[in-house]
């Protein structure tokens, strides 16, 4: 995830904004979907993808896989935190 969206959501959360959980869910799921599309799906639109599964796999190492999966996992955890916050506030 880029640093801008989580920073903005953290600021909204600290200020007690009622839409902060919704923003966290949207940002987390969106980030996970975009990274999955960009790195784990076969090439549909090569201009928008750097697929690790379709060739040519230039300079794709174990570190590439770890960082991509970490980014997807972080997005899902961010969305889960938003869901928990939304349920706690309901």
Of residues 4 and 34, which shows the higher confidence score?
A: 34
Residue closest to 87 by CA, chosen among 19, 14, 30, 21: 21
pLDDT tens for 7-57 read 887 788 778 888 899 999 999 999 999 999 888 888 777 777 777 887 767
Angle at 42 between CA 39 and CA 47, to 5 degrees: 70
Q: Where are the alpha helices (DSSP H) in 40-61?
A: none
């Amino acid at each position: 995830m880029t640093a801008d969206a989580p920073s903005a959501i953290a600021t909204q959360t600290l200020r007690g904004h009622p839409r902060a959980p919704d923003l966290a869910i949207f940002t987390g799921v969106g980030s996970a979907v975009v990274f999955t599309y960009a790195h784990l799906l076969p090439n549909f639109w090569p201009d928008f993808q750097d697929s690790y599964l379709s060739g040519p796999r230039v300079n794709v190492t174990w570190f590439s896989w770890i960082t991509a999966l970490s980014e997807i996992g972080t997005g899902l955890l961010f969305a889960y935190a938003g869901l928990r916050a939304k349920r706690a506030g309901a």
